[in-house]
Structure 1
Amino acid sequence: MASGDTLQAVVDSLAERVGLSVLIEDASFRALSWSAQTDVDDVRLHSILRRGVTPAALDAVERLGLARADGPVRVPAVPQAGMEQRWCVPLRAGEDLVGYLWVLDPHGHAGTDAVLALAAAAERAVGVIFASTPPEDDDRRLRDLLRRLERGRDEEAGRSLTVLARLPDDVLVVVDEYPRRGGWPLTCGLTAYPVEPGHWSATSGAPLPLTELHEAVRRARLTLQALRAGALLARPSWDHLRAWRLVVEAPSDLTPPEIHPGVDGLRGQRTSDLLITARTFLDLGGDVQAAASVLHLHRTTLYYRLDRIKAVTGVDLRGGPDRHDLDFALRLTAFREAADPPSS
C-alpha cells in the first residue's frame, strides 16, 4: 500500500485505467467508496443511495459463491434483480473477508489487462481497509446486529451477521444461561452460540435458525423463570419443560384463581407452610413418605397439614378430582411471581 493511500484513490485510479464504474463495499455490503458512475444499474443505485444490498442481489451473490472466490469473478447479468453484468473481487486480509470490489461492465469491455488491474486494485484496497478499520468496529457492528435479532425476526441483520462472523448461510443458534468460549453476550444477560445441526439442546432447547434468535432468547428466559418457580426438570432446557410448557405458555389474561380459587386461600395464610406443603406433595405425585422426608416432617404433621389444605381449598390432595387444577394454579402463581424484575 502506498503511503497516504485511500479507498477513494484506489477506486478513482482503477476507474480511470479501465474506463468503468467502480465501487468498494465492506463485508456487510455497505458502500465505502465509489468512482464517478458512468454506468449505473438498480443494484448500484441501491448500494450508494441506501447503503445496502437488495435481497435479490444478495441471493445472486450467495448463489454464485462470491464470498468464497479467490480472485476476480465475472458476474453475469441478473435481470430480475436489476443487476447488469459486472466483475467482483472479494477483498481478503488473510482468511478474513473484509469487503468486495465491484466493477460494472455491462458491455463486456474488460479484457485481460483490466482483470489484472482489478486484482492489483483489490490488493491496495485490502491494505487500506486493514489499516483503517480497528477491530472494535467489527465488535460494535456485531453487537448492533445481535440487538436487532434479539428484538425480532430480521432477515437483513441475519445475513449481515453471517457475513461479518464468516458463518454458513444456514447457521443455527442456541441461547444458554452460562457464558462459554465462542459465545455472543446478549443484552438480556444470556449468551448465544452459533452451532452445527445436531447440536445438543441448551437452555433455549434445540438449535434454531439465526433469524429466530429472538425466539431462542424467549425460550431460554421462560425456562429459567420456570426453574426459579420450582420446576423439577430432567435437564434445565426448554425441551424438558414437559407439562410446564402449559404454564409458561399460558395466556397473560388467565389468572390462577380462574383455574382454581383455592390458590388464593393458600396464599392468604399467615405463613407459607401450607402452600409449600401443597406444592411439594403434588410435585412428588402424592407420595406421603417422600413428601415427609423432603419437608422434614413427621407423617402425623404432614397428614394434619393435608387436612388443613383441604379445609382451606376444598381439595383433597390425596385423591380429590380437582387436585390437578389446584396444582396448575399453584405452578402458574409461582411462575408469575418468578418473573424477571423490571430493568431500571
Structure 2
Amino acid sequence: MKGDYQDLVDEISGLLGAPATLENRDFELIAFGAHDSDDDSAMDPVRTRSILTRKSTPAVRAWFEGFGIARATGPVRIPAAPEAGVFRDRICLPVRHRAIVLGYVWLLDADPGPTHEQLSAAMEVTDRIGLLLADEERAGTDLSREFRAVLTAERGWQYDMALAALRTALGPDADGLHAVVCVAPWPSGEAPSARTVAGASALCTVPWLWPTAAVAYGSPGDTRSGTGGGAAGRRQPGGEATGPGATGHGGRTGRGASGGEAAGGGMGTGASRAGNHSGARAAEAQPSDTEDGGHALAVLVRLRATDVLAPAVTAAGRLSGTAGSAGTSGSASAGSTGPAVAGIALPRRGIGDLSTSWREAASAARAARAEPRLGPIADWASIGPYRLLTALPPAPSPDPATAPLLGQAHAELARTAEVFLDCAGQAGRAASALGIHRQTLYYRLSRVEQLTGLDLDEGEDRLLLHMALKAVRL
C-alpha cells in the first residue's frame, strides 16, 4: 500500500515539477517526493521536520487548518508564517473521498506557480489517493468479531449468517482477491489492529489446539521394544542382523549406489503379518485428545494477483516475528511452546470459501511446525503430502505395525527409516544424508523390519511407514 501512495505522490511531483508530500488528516506523513534541487531554500523547516519526525507541530497544523483546508474541494494557497515556523508559501491539495477529507498533498509555492491546468491534473491524482485512503480506513475497521464468527461457526445457517455479516462489513472488499494467513501459536487472545498490518482486511484470534500424538518418536515416555513374533521368527535366532555384512534386510547388501531392487526376498505378505503386533498395542488416545496451544491469529489479506503472494508473505513474516518475540519474553500460553510459524492458503476471489481457506492456512502452519524445512512460512500449495495428512482426523491409536518404532527407545531407527523413505529408498542417498556407512543403514533397516513386521521392499508397507512417520510429526 505504501508503494501505491509513493507512486501517486511521484506522479503529482512530476505533473507540477516540484516535490510533494502526502499527509493524512492528522498531519502524519505517508509519502514524499524526492528533493533533487541544489537550492537549499526549497527545503524549509516544516518540510524537513515532517520528513524526519513523520508529523507536523501543533502550531503548523493550526496555521494550515485556519485556511479551511478541511472543507476545501480544490487547491488552497497558504502564505508563509515565520512565527509558526512556516517560512515558505504553500499549496495544499485536499485529498477527499465522498465529500470527506482524508489527507493533504503539500507543495512549496513558487513564482510562477503551477498553472490551473497542472493543478487540475494533480487534483485528479488526489482522487485516486482518496480512494486508497478510504479502502485502508475501511480495512482498519475492527472486523474481528465478524471474522471470528465465520471461522468458528459450523456449516449451516449459523455459518451463512456469519458470512453475510462479514460480507456486509467488508463492503466492496468482500468480492476482491484474498489469501488467508494463519500464525500459530499466537501469544495472547488479542489481535493487533488491521491498521498495523499492510493489506489486511480483517484479523482475529481463534482457539488453537495442537493434536497430541499417542506416541511420538523422539519423545520421552515410550520405551517399548516389543516386536511381532512372525517378524522375529524369520530372522536369525537372536532376532537381529549381527554385523556390517548382514543380509537380514532382504538382501540389500547387494544394492548399488542407486538403490536398486533387493537381491533377496522380503519378510512375507501382509496377510501373514496381520497378527504380528497383538502384544505390542500402543497407549490409547482418543480423537479429541489435544494439547492446548492457546490461540492462533487469522488474517484476511488483500492480493493484487493470484500468482503474487507477496502481501500475504510479508504479513505472515511480520506477525510471526511479533509472536516469536512475545513468546520468548514469557507471555506465550503454556501450551504454545516452540517458535511461531505461519501458513498461507490458496488465493481466492470473494469470501464464500473462507472455511476452506482457513483449513488450508491452518494445515500449512501445522506442516511448517512439524517439518522445519517447510517453514517458518509455508503456503498450502507447497506442503506436499501434508495436504493429505493434515486433513485426516487423529487416529484413536497408532497403527499397530508402526507403533513399536515410534517410542523414544527407537528414535534413531525411526529417523533412519524416514530419511531412507524420503530418499525414495535409494540407499546411497540415505546413507550420505545420515552420515553413516551403507552397511550400517542396512542393519538399521533390518531392525526396523523386525520391530514393525513390515517389508520395506513392498510399496504399500513403505507407504504405511512413511505416512506414520510424517503423521506423528503433526
TM-score (norm 2): 0.37
The structure with the larger Rg is: 2
Bigger relative contact order, structure 1 or 2, given CA contacts below 8 A and separation 6+?
2
